[in-house]
Amino acid sequence: MAERVVVGLSGGVDSAVAALLLKQQGYDVIGVFMNNWQETDENGICPAVDDWADVRSVCELIDIPYYSVSFAQEYMGNVFQHFLSEYRAGRTPNPDVLCNREIKFKAFLELAMQLDADRMATGHFVRTDSAGRLLKGADPAKEQSYFLYMVHSSQLKKALFPVGHLTKAQVRAIAEENHLPVSRKKDSTGVCFIGERNFKQFLSGYLPAQPGEMVAPNGEVVGHHDGLMYYTLGQRRGLGIGGRGDGRSWFVIGKDLKGNRLLVAQGEDHPALYSIEAECSDLTWVTEAPVPEGVPFECTCKYRYRQTDTPVTAMWQGDRLYLKAQHPQRAVTPGQSAVLYQGEVCLGGGIIESTT
C-alpha cells in the first residue's frame, strides 16, 4: 500500500510541482489549500480566490483529491497578533518563521495526521536527512532554510520537500513539461498568507500611527516620520529628507520609542549602522545544541534572508543566544531572526533583541 502524503498547496508553482513529483513517485497524494486570511486587499481583491482556483486546476490535472481548510483563528492568534505587537514595540518582525512553526508544521501537520497520512509535504526549497537535520536547498537563490529554523527535527522527520534538490528553473521546466496551469505564475511575496499589499496602508488599519520627528546625530530635526512602525534599521527609501546635509543619502540608524523620534544619519557607512555583537531571545535548535551551554563555538550566521553566511562565534545560555561576528555587520535588526549554520546544516537560531 502506497504511503499517503498530504501536500500543502499554495496555488503557486513550487507546491504544484511538489505534488506532481510525489504522484509520479507512487505516493497516495492529497492536496490541501490553506485559506488563512480572507480579507480583501486595498483594491477589493481577495487573492485566495484565485489561488484556490489554481489549486483545483492543478489537482484535477494530476488527478489527486483536494480540500480547502482554514486555520484563520490559529493564524490570527499565534502569528498575526505577535506580528502586530512587534511593530507596536518598534521592532521589525519576520512573520514567516512563526507561520511555519505555528501553522504549516503544527496545525497543518496535525491535520495531515488526522487524514491518516504518513507524511506531509510542502514546496519549500530545503532538504532534510534521515536524522531529521535541516539542510539548505540546492538553489542558492531560492534556498529557504532561514524560514524553517524554528521547526524541530521531530516535525521534519514527518515532512517531505520534493523540490529541495532542484533549482527554480528546473521546477518551472517540470511544470511546463507537464502542462501545469501555474507554470508561469509569478512567485508570491509579502507577508505569509496575506500576500502583497500596500504595507503602509495595511498596517495603519491595525495600528494607530503616531507621527514624529526625524533627528540627526547632532540633535537637529531634519524631517518628520509618519509612524515609527513604518521604518526599519538601514532604510534609505521613503524618508523624504532631500536637500539637507552634505548631499549623501540618509539612512535610519535607530528609534527612540520614548520620544517617538526616528534617528537618521547620512552615509551608508555610518558607524551606527554597524555592529559586531548581537543578543538573541527565543533560541530554537532544529535537533540539539551542538555544544554544551556556555561553551563558545564557531559557525556561520544569516542575520536576514538572502544574506551571505557570515562567520561568527556563538554561545548559548538558556533561551538566549550571543553572537560575535568577525567583521562589522550592517543593519542587524531587532525583531528579525539570526539563523546559524555549519556548512549545509541549519542548526537553529533566535530573535535579535539588541546589538553592540
**Which residue stretches of the chain are H helix?**
13-24, 47-62, 72-75, 81-88, 95-99, 108-114, 153-156, 168-177, 199-204
- Cβ-contact 347, 293 below 8 angstroms: no
Q: How many C-beta atoms surround the C-beta of residue 331 within 10 A?
A: 21
Per-residue cell: 281? 531571545
C-alpha 9, offset from chain centre: 17
DSSP conformation letters of 78-92: IIIHHHHHHHHTT--
- For the question of residue 46 being annotated catalytic, the response is no
Apex CA 162: angle with CA 23 and CA 343, to 5°?
165
d(CA 157, CA 134): 10
C-alpha 96, offset from chain centre: 3
DSSP conformation letters of 268-306: TT-GGGEEEEEEEEEEEESS--SS-TT--EEEEEESSTT
Q: How many C-beta atoms surround the C-beta of residue 77 within 10 A?
A: 11
Give the residue from 202, 117, 120 showing the smallest Cα distance to 155: 120
d(CA 291, CA 213): 46
- Cβ-contact 64, 89 below 8 angstroms: no
The backbone torsions φ and ψ at residue 274, rounded to the nearest 5 degrees and listed phi first, read -120, 150
- For the question of residue 99 being annotated catalytic, the response is yes
**Residue 198 buriedness (CB in 10 A; 0-12 / 13-18 / 19+):** exposed
* Catalytic residue selected from 46, 59, 99, 346: 99
* Catalytic residue selected from 46, 59, 192, 299: 192
- Enzyme catalytic residues: 99, 192
